[in-house]
Every structure is written in C-alpha cells, then in structure tokens.
Homo-oligomer: A and B are copies of this chain.
Amino acid sequence: MRVAVLGGDGYCGWATALYLSRRGNTVAIVDNFSRRQWDHELGAQTLTPIRPLAERLAVWRELTGNTIESYIGDVTDYDFVSSLVREFEPDAMVHFAEQRSAPYSMIDRKHAVFTQVNNVVGTLNLLFALREFEPDCHLIKLGTMGEYGTPNIDIEEGYITIEHNGRKDSLPFPKQPGSFYHLSKVHDSHNMMFACKIWGLRATDLNQGVVYGTMTEDSALDDALINRFDYDEVFGTVLNRFCVQAAIGHPLTVYGKGGQTRGFLDIRDTVRCIELACLNPAARGECRVYNQFTEQFSVLELAEMVASAGAKLGLEVEIERLPDPRVEAEEHYYNAKHSKLVDLGLQPHYLSESLLDSLMNIAIEYRERIDRSLMMPRVNWRFTSNRRQVPTDSAEDALAIEAKKTA
C-alpha cells in the first residue's frame, strides 16, 4: 500500500511512518518542519535528541533496506499538495500535519488565527486534491477526543442516535471543544463530512486521546531514529511532562482539582490504529469516526501513578496543584466509547505495564537535557495575550504579571 504520512517528521507521524514502512508499505513523509520551528519560537526542545529528517531516513534505509521518500512543503500550499498527490499516487493519506497544541493556539490572537487557518486550509486542500486527482484514496485524518469536550452523557464514536419529540435520527455528536486548537479540529471534521457526502470521498476521522510514550519497536532500532518527547507546558502532553518532572524532582503540575478526565493511549497503539485504519478503508462517501484511545484517567490519577512509579525508582515525587490556566470543568462525568478500533484488532498496551519501562526510564536517561523553566503554565485561557518570555519560575507569578497587563 502507498501511504503518505503528512507531518511525518513530528511525534506521532515519525512513529507511524517507520511502523508502516517496516510492514511493507511504500511510505512518503510530507513535512515542512514547522514543529521544529515552533521549538525555536518557544525556546523549547524535545527531551530526546532527534536528528534531522534526512539523517533519520538514511539510517532507516541502511538498517531496513526500506526507502521512505520525503516531500518537503506546506499543506496550505495547494500547488504543493496537488503535485504531491499526482506524483506519489497514495492509496492512503495519513494527515498529522496540523498545529496540535491547545496552549499554542491560546497564546494570543495571532496564534489562534494561525492555528485555525493553517489546520482548516490544509485539510480543505487535501480534500480538493483527493477529489481532483485521487478520489479513491483513503484520507485518515487525526482529530482529537477534545472535540467532544466533557458532556454529561456518554460520548459515542462520532455520531449519536437522538430521539426527539417522537422522531429519531443519527446525527454528528455535538461538539464542545475547549481551545482554538480543538475548535480547528471540529471545523475540519465538519468540512470532511461534507466533502465525503458531496464528492464520494472516503475518510476516517480518528479522534485521538492524549498520547504518551516515545519508543516503538522501530525507533528502538537505532539512536538516530529516536522520536520526539515533549514535556514543555505548550507541546508536552501531560503524562510525558509528569514523568520528566518526576525525574528531576520537580513537583508534578496538576491544574486545578485534577479531576479533568481524558482518554489516553500509548504511542505504540497510535501506530497500530493507523495501520488498522489503512487496512480497513472507509467506503466511498463514508466519513467514519473512531475514538482512538485505550484508557481513561483523571489528571490526578495520573499524577498519583507517576508518584508511585517514581517511588519504586527511588525518586521523591511531590504533587503541586496550580490554579487552572485553562477554562474547563475540573470535575465532571466522562465516559467515552472506544470499541471500534478494538473490533478491528487493536490489542492495547496498557499504562500500568509501560509506565516504568517506556516512560520513566526515558525521562531519567535524558535528564541532563531537561530545562526546568519549561514546566510552569504560562498560557492562560482567560487572557487574549500571553507573553511567554516573562522570566519566572512560578506559574502564579507569570499569570499574575499577565493579569496586571491585561486588566
């Protein structure tokens, strides 16, 4: 199968590209390196010393004999997208090539507008290019569980059957996204459903939970293949950040009451889910939605698990509750369905098994690279402008300074 992985130099994309390549697919990575650029902007870097893409691909070829082609360009540039589709003739396109951080989208107006325009236009371009040049190609698009928000009813996979005043219909599940980034994914989802309907495209919208971990069987083949591992307050996902904090004796930063419950999954399950979607394409005209996560945890539960895992390794781990920089329910009902990928054959890696080996040890191994100044939240949802450069070690201080400026 010919699979283009858009955003293939990023966290999920890199792991996916290797996994699909090793399983006999012809893979192309499409990327414009904006993820690396955002590190420069934020003064942050991945915990793990990742190599330039060209080097990564050369090592991969050497080790496995598999060539991964690369197409360097921006999906918001339609000339680039259309020539990519015509040249590579993909059977499937896996679309990770979006700005994926909620705090990044909440820094200020420019970051909000950038995130929405970048993500929405990129996906529109893909839809048009597929309709024009490869209408049979399967679009596998990364959405997020955050599209649903935290409703007081069970969350279904994309659609819900509603009975109302004696009538019944199956309708898109109502969305209550919690940041300008999450909103951009909701916009994408609506655009995709429409394009599948009018043009008969085939698409799978994967509403992914919070991913943790970094090692996969493939990236473990060589140091040069190591994947990103972000722990900063903007791009670091919560569990990765907790492990890094534990490794250096920094208190785990729990926002508010910590009752925020979300779906989580191991990056080794991310790559398998993508493969399962590729192997079982949506029908023409179908925009199917899978909830891609394996377990639910509250933030406080995670913190406690990391603290106890740290204790086994001889680390003293404290939990610090900070005022929540986000506007969100800090305690709520949460029960999201996630059976469709399991039905296709997913065998989850559960957190209890991987926490010590795959997570804490990575954090400990690279602890010399950890920058303590990147831990505290500096983007507050309540403000329209968050200057992240304020030199302070304390979240309260940073937020207080912003509060004064925007009052």
Contacts and interface: CB of A to CB of B under 8 A. Distances in A.
A327 B162 contact: no
A190 B175 contact: yes
Nearest to A182: B194
A161 to B, nearest CB: 9
Contacts of A151: 169, 171
Copies in the complex: 2
A121 B125 contact: no
Contacts of A128: 109, 112, 384
A277 interface: no
A183 B179 CA distance: 19
Given A120-B120, A172-B174, A175-B190, A125 B154 contact: no
Contacts of A406: 132
Interface in A135-173: 151-154, 160, 162-165, 167-169, 171-173
Interface in A103-140: 109, 112-113, 116-117, 120-121, 124-125, 128, 131-132
A61 interface: no
Contacts of A388: none
A254 interface: no
A176 B327 CA distance: 28
Given A121-B117, A153-B162, A183 B191 contact: yes
A193 B116 CA distance: 16
A366 interface: no
A159 to B, nearest CB: 9
Contacts of A165: 153-154
13 contacts: A78-B109, A109-B128, A113-B121, A113-B125, A117-B120, A120-B187, A124-B180, A153-B169, A154-B164, A162-B162, A179-B194, A180-B191, A187-B190
Interface of A: 78, 109, 112-113, 116-117, 120-121, 124-125, 128, 131-132, 151-154, 160, 162-165, 167-169, 171-180, 183, 186-187, 190-191, 193-194, 197-199, 327, 333, 381-382, 384, 406
Given A131-B384, A153-B165, 12 more contacts: A109-B125, A116-B191, A117-B117, A117-B120, A132-B384, A151-B169, A153-B168, A160-B174, A163-B163, A171-B176, A172-B175, A183-B194
